[in-house]
Structure 1
Amino acid sequence: MSRVTIIIGHPDPSPERFCRALSLAYENGAKETGHDVRILDVAALGLPPLMNAAQWRTDPGPDITGAQTAIEWADHLVIVYPLWLGTMPAALKAFFEQVMRPGFALSSGDSGYPKGLLKGRSARIVVTMGMPALAYRLFYRAHSLKSLERNILKFCGIGPVRESLVGMVEGSAASRSRWLAKMHRHGTKAS
């Protein structure tokens, strides 16, 4: 069985947020089939953004090291967040800035180029949005999703990275139910 860490990237702690429902559906599916699950809730952590390079190299503190431990423990990461102004919410970006530090996510390679230290982990990125997912993928070219995948996850050694784009979240209850069922199925397979 797999070890899964779910990162809930919605900065609003309200339980009625669809990102939280999708995360719970995945968690339930995973637990029902014997996978171990840990949750990292970005809203509960409330990590500030880094203001300079020196802060990136300082002692991270217990909240950040706890998040690092949950990521290091996992075989598979699930990152769930809403698309805000074309990208991830600032709170989730601050989370990644704080957690993906040198010595944990990156190390200098022989050439001085950073080397990813989180190899052996896969990920699923789940992005909710008000627009149709196809419009985000084709017209906007899913630029923020690609940035997270390439510039953060793969750069740190995480792969393969799969994606689920949940468009029209304000749409029908039937559509939302289908997405909850789909996330539950992903959870059962830890994929």
Structure 2
Amino acid sequence: MKLLVIYTHPNHQSLSFAFLQKVVQGSEENPLIQEVQVLDLYEEGFDPVLVFHEQKRRRDMHSDPRLERYRNQITWADKIVLVYPIWWGRPPAMLLGYIDQMFASEFAYRDKKGLFPEGLLTGKSVVCISTMKGPTHYPLLWLNNAHKVLMKRALFQFVGMKKVKFFEFGNMESSKGRHQEKLERVYRYFKQVAQ
């Protein structure tokens, strides 16, 4: 199994970075995981801004040479792991900008007759590891589970990625947030995950 870990937080002293380290540590100790690539969007200087005009059309985004390396990473990976905070009930704008550009028509999906497109990223699985200041059940009870619906239904299932797992950790700015316990939970998952 090959893992692409996409880290989206501007601070390497953050709890999100600690989760990234646990993902890598657990993966390195898992004999079923052959290779791990980490893409740090902030450190990379990824440009999340979409630009369309007469010379750069949206329908051609799947072949934009500037994004070829990132497309190759997604194609290469068996499992994609996203590590990010939840700000204002959703992932950071940096990650959303990456998604807007990478999950393009003719790369991630293809329109066909009928209501739903053909997903072109079938067979891949996804793990979303997110942290937030609010209580763990805040997105479910107050936001109608918007974060999970956005990531699972509106994005990953749309492009054919049916297996999506969430680690959604709340109370992360509290001293009672049980940080170490949650870090160990992520570490154990990646040490043992089979697919």
Structure 1 stretches of at least 4 aligned residues deviating more than 3 Å after TM superposition: 110-113
- Show CA shifts across 1:91-114 (max 9, x none): 111000111112210123355953
Instruction: Map 1:133-152; keep pairs closer than 5 Å.
Output: 133-152=136-155
Amino acid at match of 1:6: V
139 and 156 in structure 1: CA distance in 2 versus 1, 3 angstrom threshold? same
Q: CA RMSD in A?
A: 2.1
How far apart in 1 are the matches of 2:23 and 2:112?
A: 36
Name the structure 2 match of 1:20.
17
Contact preservation (8 Å) 1:65, 1:99: no
Structure 1 portions without partners, runs of 5+: none
Q: Give the count of matched residue pairs.
A: 187
Contact preservation (8 Å) 2:116, 2:158: no
2:81 to 78, 81, 84: 78
Name the structure 2 match of 1:50.
50
Range with bigger deviation, 79-88 or 43-52: 43-52
2:64 to 60, 63, 88: 60
Q: When the two structures are superposed, what TM-score results if normalisation uses the length of structure 2?
A: 0.87
Contact preservation (8 Å) 1:87, 1:145: no
1:163 to 166, 180, 187: 166
Name the structure 2 match of 1:118.
121
> What SS does structure 2 have at the residue aligned with 1:57?
helix
> What SS does structure 2 have at the residue aligned with 1:157?
coil
Identity value in percent? 24
112 and 87 in structure 1: CA distance in 2 versus 1, 3 angstrom threshold? closer
- Show CA shifts across 1:69-100 (max 9, x none): 11111111111111111111111110001111
How far apart in 2 are the matches of 1:66 and 1:45?
A: 14
Contact preservation (8 Å) 1:106, 1:116: yes
Structure 2 portions without partners, runs of 5+: none
Range with bigger deviation, 143-152 or 116-125: 143-152
